[in-house]
Amino acid sequence: MVAVEELFAEVVAEITHNPLIFAAEVAQFLILVFALRLLAKRILGPMLERRRQQVLDDLAEADRADERVAEAHKEAKRIVAEANQQAQERIREAKEGAAAEFEQAVAAVGEEAANVVKQARQTLEQEETEAVSSVHTKLVDLVTVATRNVLDEALSEQERRDLVEKSVLSSLEELEDVAIAE
């Protein structure tokens, strides 16, 4: 603290001892400050202004980049949502198509089964008719043979004719009944 007081006392003594030199030094200092200020404005001013403008441009570009990023995020979300919606739609369509194909396949199988059953019934009816006809024919043949044998042994010629006539008429009536029943 003593050193500062001594320095202050020396400065006051110098100012009071040569006030003109002090005034000249103050004027030089002011001119130097003014010159430096002018020089700084002329040289540093444009540089600082360019730097300030570059910083402002960089900030504006950063803002635009942020906006583009935000838009890109929105677009990405929209695309993902649209893709999800399309995927759900395709899944729904695939399920509906599979269900329709399943129903068609079931209907086709049912129709095929009905056709097979129908054909089986027709075949069964035809075979039954053929079997009845065959049995009927064999029965008629057997009855005829048996009747002929009996007639040949026991009956006279006139009795045989009467018996054959009755048998033929009876067989014809039975055939008509069978034909009507079918």
pLDDT surpasses 70 at 147: no
Residues 140, 168: Cα–Cα separation, whole Å: 10
pLDDT at residue 182 in the model: 64
Q: In the chain, where are the structural domains located?
A: 19-181
Higher-confidence position of 57 and 133: 57
* Mean pLDDT for the chain overall: 84
Amino acid at site 6: E
d(CA 115, CA 106): 14
Token pair, residue 124, equals 């069964």
Percent of the chain with pLDDT over 70: 93
Predicted structure pTM score: 0.39
Residue 151 has pLDDT above 70, yes or no: no
Q: What is the pLDDT of residue 28?
A: 95
How many angstroms separate the CA atoms of 175 and 13, rounded? 168
